[in-house]
A and B are shown apart, each in its own frame.
Chain A
Amino acid sequence: MSNAAAYWKANLRLVIGCLIVWFIVSYGFGILLAGPLNNIRIGGYQLGFWFAQQGSIYTFVALIFFYASRMNKLDQEYNVQED
Chain B
Amino acid sequence: MDLKTLTFIVVGATFALYFFIAIRSRASSTGEFYVAGKGVPPVLNGMATAADWMSAASFISMAGLIAFKGYDASVYLMGWTGGYVLLAMLLAPYLRKYGKYTVPEFIGDRYYSQTARITAVICLIVASLTYVIGQMKGIGVAFSRFLEVDFATGLYAGMAIVFVYAVLGGMKGVTYTQIAQYCVLIFAYTVPAIFISLHLTGNPIPQIGLGSTLSDGSGMYVLDKLDKVLTDLGFGAYTAQKGSTINMFLLTLSLMIGTAGLPHVIMRFFTVPKVKDARSSTGWALVFIAILYTTAPAVGAMARLNLMHTIQPEPGKWLKYEDRPSWFKNWEKTGLLKFEDKNGDGRIQYVADKKTNEMVKVDRDIMVLANPEIANLPNWVIALVAAGGIAAALSTAAGLLLAISSAISHDLMKGVFMPDLTEKGELLAGRIAMAGAIIVAGYLGLNPPGFAAQVVALAFGLAASSIFPALMLGIFHKRANRTGAVVGMLSGLGITLIYIFWFKGWFFIKGTAMAPNTPDHWFLGISPEAFGAVGALVNFVVASVISNMTEPPPEHIQHLVEDIRVPAGAGAPVDH
Contact = CB atoms under 8 A, between A and B. Distances in A.
A77 to B, nearest CB: 12
Contacts of A64: 84-85, 88-89, 279, 282-283, 286
B241 A35 contact: yes
In this complex, which of B84, B211, B290, B569 has the most chain A Cβ atoms within 10 angstroms of its Cβ? Answer: B211
Interface residues of A, number: 44
Given A53-B66, A57-B293, A64-B286, 16 more contacts: A26-B82, A30-B74, A38-B239, A45-B210, A53-B294, A54-B297, A64-B85, A64-B88, A64-B282, A65-B283, A68-B280, A71-B93, A80-B568, A81-B276, A81-B568, A82-B274
Interface of A: 4, 7-8, 11, 15, 18-19, 22, 26-27, 30-32, 34-35, 38, 42-46, 49-50, 52-54, 56-58, 60-61, 63-65, 67-68, 71-72, 75, 79-83
Contacts of B565: 4, 7-8, 11
A22 B283 contact: no
B88 to A, nearest CB: 5
A15 B211 contact: no
Nearest to A79: B568
A44 B211 contact: yes
B566 interface: yes
Contact of B71 (A8, A43, A52, A57): A52
Top 3 closest pairs, chain A to chain B, by CB: A44-B221, A52-B74, A43-B211
Interface stretch (B122-130, B245-253, B430-438): B245-253
A13 B74 CA distance: 29
Nearest to A71: B279
A44 to B, nearest CB: 3
Contact of B82 (A44, A49, A60, A71): A60
Interface of B: 66, 71, 74, 77-78, 81-82, 84-85, 88-90, 93, 207-208, 210-213, 221-224, 239, 241, 245, 248-249, 252-253, 274-276, 279-280, 282-283, 286-287, 290, 293-294, 297, 562, 565-570
Given A38-B239, A52-B78, A32 B245 contact: yes
Q: Do most interface residues of chain A lie in helix, strand or loop, or is the interface mixed?
A: helix
B42 to A, nearest CB: 10
Contacts of B207: 54
A44 B89 contact: no
B567 A82 contact: yes
A57 B286 CA distance: 9
